[in-house]
Each structure stands twice: as structure tokens, then as C-alpha cells.
Structure 1
Amino acid sequence: MALAITGRVQGVGYRWWFEGQARRYGLDGWVRNRRDGSVEALVSGPRAAVQAVIRRAHDGPPAARVEAVRSSQAEAPEAPGFRRKPTI
């Protein structure tokens, strides 16, 4: 599942927080900042775990102010595990 998260989500630890959530639920994929100020993620794993992380993505860490989380179908990541990727 591909996610696009908008709002005040950069400079507030959102990627680190999201990575922790994804690892907690045993998901594969990645998260990264985009130059437009949003955060982009790709998550793959058991449906219930993916849905749980999407629900949590709406809250984010305490300093974040999430406006929207858009999700769309996507192919699974190429490598297992979860990581942060460089900004694009």
C-alpha cells in the first residue's frame, strides 16, 4: 500500500515515528520526505497490520499535525524489512 501523508509532517520526527510503527507491526517497506513537504511511504504485510499502521498514520508523533493520509494499491517492496529513504 502506498501512502501520501500531508500536513505538518516534516521536521517533527514523523519518519522516525512511522518507521517505528511499521517495525512494531512487522511490515516491510520504506518511508521518506518529499520536497513538497509531504511524507511518502510504502507498506506491505498482513492486511490487519497494514490497516493498523494506516490508522496510526493519521495521528503521527506529538508534534505532527496530519491533514490527510491518502492510500493506494502498490506493488510490494523489493527488499524485506523497513527503512527510511532519502528525500525526493
Structure 2
Amino acid sequence: MARAVEPPQLDEIRTWGATTDIVSAGTVFGLGRTKSYELAQSDEFPVRVIRIGKAYRVVVADLIAFLEGADLLTAAPAEVA
């Protein structure tokens, strides 16, 4: 039986750097390795995924914004006066 992995806390995620791997990002959403890759490959991962060669990277700032409740897809752009 697979053991449950505790999702990382927001304070820990803030220490990750600019990007993280798809598996680590998936743990934030309670996803395992296989499901994380499936969602990334089908462009359905909950936040932006960057493909670099064969690697999938996730922008940590997007994870933080998602967890803090910011809607990345519908946020209005800032108005320039």
C-alpha cells in the first residue's frame, strides 16, 4: 500500500527557488508522479508548466499565487495611467 505524502506548507514552498520539478509541484495538489506528468502533458496542470527539453518545470510564484487564492487565468491586467 502506498503511503500518503503530506503536502508541503506555503512557508516551505517559498524556499524552493524560481522553479521546481513537476513531481514536487504535484505534491502541492495531492498528486502523484504519474498524474502530475499526465496533467502536464495534456496542459491541464493547475498552474503554468514550462517544458525545457524533456523536463517539466513549474514556476513557484504561480504555485504561491494559486495557494494564496489568486486566479491566474482571469486576473485583470494592471491599468497603466
TM-score, length-scaled by structure 1: 0.26
Bigger strand share: 1
| Greater Cα radius of gyration, structure 1 or 2 | 2
Bigger helix share: 2
TM-score, length-scaled by structure 2: 0.28
User: RCO higher in 1 or 2 (8 Å CA, sep ≥ 6)?
Assistant: 1
